[in-house]
Structure 1
C-alpha cells in the first residue's frame, strides 16, 4: 500500500493494524498536511457487520470536537477491479501508544499515571455527555496516545456505540479487548461505567507492565496491591474503577474525576443524578415526563386534532357527509336496494368515526419504580388496557422501524418485558418516539446501576 494514492492522500507507511482495518500514515496533497487514514477492505471482511462498525465510527467522529480526540477530516470509499476500500481520514497526532511506551521500557511514576487518568477521564466525560452519549467500548493501552510533552489522545473509535443505539438494539455485539473488557461487555452490553473499567485496567498495565489477565485475581477481581506500589488513596480509587460489578464502580467519568482530584468523596446520591445527561424534549411535544431517583412517570395526553392527523379526520368527515347524503336521498326516493348498498358503507363510516373519536380522546400513562411498573391506556375516563409487572423484568425501550406493503416506514416505540412487549405512544411523532425510547432506557439503566 506504500506510495499508493487514495483520492488526494498518498500512503507513506503503516501505523497499525486492528480488527476493523489498517491505519496508515499519509500525506494530504491538497492541504499539505500529515493525516492518519484507516482503510477497511471489503474483500478481507467476513460479514457486513465490520462495514457497519466502520461507518458508525466515521459518523460519530464527524460530530466530535475535543482537543484529546484527533480531528475528523474525511470519509469515502474507492472501488477497484476486485475490491472496495472504505477510508476514514483523521488528523495525525504525534506520539506513541501506552502499549509502545511500556514495550520500550518506560516506567511511569504515580503522578504521571494520575495525569494520564485525568486527561482520559476528561475525554470520556465529553463523550458521555454527548446527546446521545457515546461509549468507546475499547479503552486499552493501544488506543491511548501519549505525546512526549505529556499530552494524551484517545484514538480508534471502531468499537464505539452511542447509548441511544445501545438502547435500540436488543442484545448487543461482542466488541472489545480481553483483559480490558468489563464483565457486562461479554454479555454484549455496554454502559458509561464500562469505559471506566477499561481505563482502570489500562492504568494497571502501565504501572505493572503486565496484562490485567496476568495479574493475580481474587473472587474475579484483580488483586494488584501486591504487584503495584502506589499511594493508598490512588489504590482505593483504582479498585473502584475495576470493580467487576457495574453497580460498584463509579457511575460516571465526572464522578471518578472529581474523586481523583480530591474535590469530593464518593457521594452515591450525587452519582445517581449524573448517570446520564438530560435529553431535550422535542419542540411542541405535549408529553409529560417526570423523573426522580427511583420513579419514572410518563403521561401521554389525548392527541386531539393536529397537523399529522388532520387529513385523516377530514377524510372521515367527508366520507360520513357523502354517506349521510346518499342515505337521505335513498330514503326520500324510497330506493331500498340502494339503501342496503349504502348502508354497508355507512357501517364503515360509523367504524371510522368511532376510531377517530377514540384516537382523539385516548391517553396513556406509564409509571416505573424500583419494584414494579404499570402501563395503562384510557379513553374518556375508561381504562381499556392495563399491564403491570416487576421492574426487574423490563429489558429496554426500543425504536422499531418497519415497512408496510407499500414500502412506507412505520416507527414504533416498544417497551420490552422478556417475552412481552408494549407499544407506547402510537400517535406520537417519530421524533417523540425516539425521545421516549431514550428516556425510558436511560431510566432503566439508572435503576440497574
Structure 2
C-alpha cells in the first residue's frame, strides 16, 4: 500500500488505522505538497448501507464546517479498482498525539490541564451546537482528541477529530434505531438511538474523568447509572468535581444542556451543599430504588410494634361491642338455619374479617405501601393480600411543588410531598422511625432536585 497513488494525486505514506471494511491512511498530496488523511469505506461482503449513510454524512458535515480545531474537508473519491471498490474521504492532516496515547505513555494531567482542555473542547462544541441544525459528534472520547505543541505548562492546541458518528438534529434514522458511540463515553440516551447536544457534554465529562482518575469510565463503579469517581480524586477542587458530576448526570433533565451553559457553570461554580447524605438506618427494611427515570419507595408491613399493641388493646372493647351489636341485629339461631352450613361458615369469616381488630392485624402484618415518582407522575398505592388500591390519587410529576418534613408532635413527624391538590404522606402511620423519615426526605430531595423544608 505504501507508495500507491490514489486518484492520480494522493501518494500513500502509511496506514493510520484499520477496521472491518474500512481503513485510514496518511498520504501526500502531490498537488499541494501537504500531508492529508484519507478515510476509506469498502464495498465488501460485510458492507451495510447504514455505514455508507454515516460515511456520506461525515463528508457533508465536514464540508459545511470551518473551524481551526476541526479537520477540513478536501475531497471525496469513488474507489473503483480490480481488488477494491468503495469510497474515500480526504481531509486535512492534524499533527499530534491523541489523549489516549498521552495517557498510555504515562502522562498525567493537572487540574489546570483539565480546565484548559474543558475550555478548548467546549469552545469547539459551542461552534458545533450553533450550526443550523446543531451538529452532534456522538463519539467524543480520548482517542478522538488530538493535542499539538503540548508542553509541561500547556496542553497545546486541541483538535476534535473523527466525525464518523456525526449526526445533526434533522438527520434522524427513520424508524430504525442506530446506536453509535463508545461504551463508557456514551450518554444513556444514546443506547436508545437518541442524541442531543447534551450527549456530547456527557462524552466530554467522561473523558475528563478518565484524565483525573487514570481509569476508563467503564472501570469505575456506577450507582443508578451515575459514574462514581469522587472518592478517587479528593485532591481536586470540590467545585470541579461537582461540575464533572453535572456533565455526566444520566438524566437529561439534570445534566448541563449546552456547551455555553457548561462553560458558564465551570467559570461560576454553584454553591455546594456539604450536608452529608444519611445512610439507610440500620435495621430498616424499606426498599428504595433510584434510577435516572424513577424513584420508588416500598414500605413493608410494620408488624406488631409496641404502639400497635397498645392500639389493639384499645380496640378490644370496640371489637367486642361490634360483635355484640352485630348479633343483636341478626339473632341467628344456628339450629334452624335456612341457609347451607358452609354458607354460614363463609358468612362468619366475612363478619370476622370486617371487625376492627382483624383489620388492624391484617394491615399490620400484610399491608405494603409503594410510593413511586417517575417522569410522568407520582403515585402512592397500598398492597394487601393481592388487593391494591390508591393511597391518594395520582398526580402529574410537574405539579410537585414542595417537599417537607412536618413535625406532628414531639419526636413524631412525617414526609409530605405536595403535588397540585394532592398530599402524599409517609410517616408514623406506615411505621417509619424518625431516622427513616429523614433518610427518605433526603433521597427524595436529591432525586427531585430541590431541598426539603422542616415545618
Task: Name the TM-score class by shorter chain.
Answer: 0.5 to 0.7
Q: Does 1:21 align with 2:22?
A: yes
1:249 and 1:64 mapped to 2: Cα distance?
Answer: 27
Equivalent residue for 2:231?
226
How far 1:258 moved relative to its partner? 1.5
2:261 pairs with one of 255, 278, 283: 255
Equivalent residue for 2:246?
240
Task: Name the structure, 1 or 2, with higher relative contact order (CA <8 Å, separation 6+).
Answer: 1
2:169 and 2:220 mapped to 1: Cα distance?
Answer: 31
How far 1:78 moved relative to its partner? 1.6
Equivalent residue for 1:94?
95
How far 1:43 moved relative to its partner? 1.6
Equivalent residue for 1:396?
none
How far 1:70 moved relative to its partner? 1.2
Change (3 A) 1:196 1:44: farther
1:169 pairs with one of 165, 168, 174: 174
Equivalent residue for 1:202?
207
Is the CA contact 1:216–1:222 (under 8 Å) kept in the aligned structure 2? yes
Is the CA contact 2:41–2:86 (under 8 Å) kept in the aligned structure 1? yes
1:199 and 1:19 mapped to 2: Cα distance?
Answer: 27
Is the CA contact 2:239–2:270 (under 8 Å) kept in the aligned structure 1? no
Equivalent residue for 1:154?
160
1:56 and 1:109 mapped to 2: Cα distance?
Answer: 36
Q: Does 1:4 align with 2:4?
A: yes
How far 1:205 moved relative to its partner? 1.1
Could you list the runs of 5+ residues in structure 2 that have no partner in the other structure? 151-155, 273-375, 378-395, 399-455
Equivalent residue for 2:44?
43
Deviations 1:367-404 (A, max 9, x none): xxx99xxxxxxxxxxxxxxxxxx9x9xxxxxxxxxxxx
Greater Rg over alpha carbons, structure: 2
How far 1:206 moved relative to its partner? 1.5
How far 1:174 moved relative to its partner? 0.7
2:257 and 2:248 mapped to 1: Cα distance?
Answer: 12
C-alpha root-mean-square deviation of aligned residues, in Å? 2.3
Is the CA contact 1:237–1:260 (under 8 Å) kept in the aligned structure 2? yes
Change (3 A) 1:19 1:163: farther
The number of equivalent residue pairs is 269
Equivalent residue for 1:131?
132
TM-score (norm 1): 0.57
Is the CA contact 2:197–2:257 (under 8 Å) kept in the aligned structure 1? yes
2:63 and 2:20 mapped to 1: Cα distance?
Answer: 21
Change (3 A) 1:186 1:56: same
Equivalent residue for 1:212?
217
Could you list the runs of 5+ residues in structure 1 that have no partner in the other structure? 267-369, 372-389, 393-449
TM-score (norm 2): 0.56
